[in-house]
């Protein structure tokens, strides 16, 4: 398992805070992990409203061409 080491300041910003006040309140970070090299990646983020905080995960699978 490899984790992306490229961290950019925009990874921590949430510009829509005034319209949609999601936890972590003006900051967010998306962590990308490569599960299977060049085939499967996961993206993890923590989101919430008020005191309900939920971890979110998206999985991306590279499909072959038909």
Mind listing the pLDDT tens digit for each residue in 17-33? 666 666 666 567 788 99
**Ranges of each domain in the chain:** 2-61
| CA–CA distance, 49 with 29 (Å, rounded to integer) | 16
Residues whose CB falls within 8 Å of the CB of residue 7, separated by 6 or more in sequence, listed in order: none
% of the chain beyond a pLDDT of 70: 56
| CA–CA distance, 60 with 8 (Å, rounded to integer) | 21
- Considering only CA atoms, which of 65, 66, 46 is closest in space to residue 57? 46
Note whether 17 and 24 are within 8 A (CB): no
- pTM for this one? 0.58
């Amino acid at each position: 398992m490899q984790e992306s080491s490229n961290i950019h300041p925009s990874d921590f910003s949430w510009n829509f805070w005034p319209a949609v006040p999601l936890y972590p309140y003006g900051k967010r970070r998306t962590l990308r992990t490569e599960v299977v090299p060049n085939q499967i990646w996961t993206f993890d983020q923590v989101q919430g409203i008020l005191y309900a905080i939920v971890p979110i995960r998206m999985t991306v699978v590279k499909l072959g061409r038909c």
